Amino acid sequence: DQQVKQNSPSLSVQEGRISILNCDYTNSMFDYFLWYKKYPAEGPTFLISISSIKDKNEDGRFTVFLNKSAKHLSLHIVPSQPGDSAVYFCAAHSGAGSYQLTFGKGTKLSVIP
């Protein structure tokens, strides 16, 4: 049973436009969420995170929104750049001090010049 779901395997966006990547979760114990970015032949790289006590966290062009009641989070990239083309993984922690990261299967973003 997938506890973290990324329902769109792929997404194509024009350069300069907004990219919105979505993630849904089922476990109400999850209280900390992260986005990782992965280029081919490299490991996932931490991008941005959000605690469940917040509904928004922003870092430059990247913003993560959390809707706890809907158990949904999204990553917004504005403006999108060709270098953003990668696979994006949503991940979740449960409980203070938890080491367990549950990952979604990823969304492949292609930013078209």
Exactly one of 23, 85, 92, 104 binds other proteins (CB under 8 A); which one? 104
Under rule CB under 8 A, residue 53 binds other proteins: no
What contacts 99, CB < 8 A, 6 or more positions away? Answer: none
Exactly one of 42, 53, 70, 83 binds other proteins (CB under 8 A); which one? 42
Cross-strand pairs, 90: 35
Cβ atoms of residues 20 and 78 within 8 Å? no
Which structure tokens are listed for 77?
Answer: 């990239």
Under rule CB under 8 A, residue 63 binds other proteins: no
- Residues lying near other proteins in the complex (CB under 8 A): 32, 34, 36, 41-46, 49, 89, 93, 96-101, 103-106
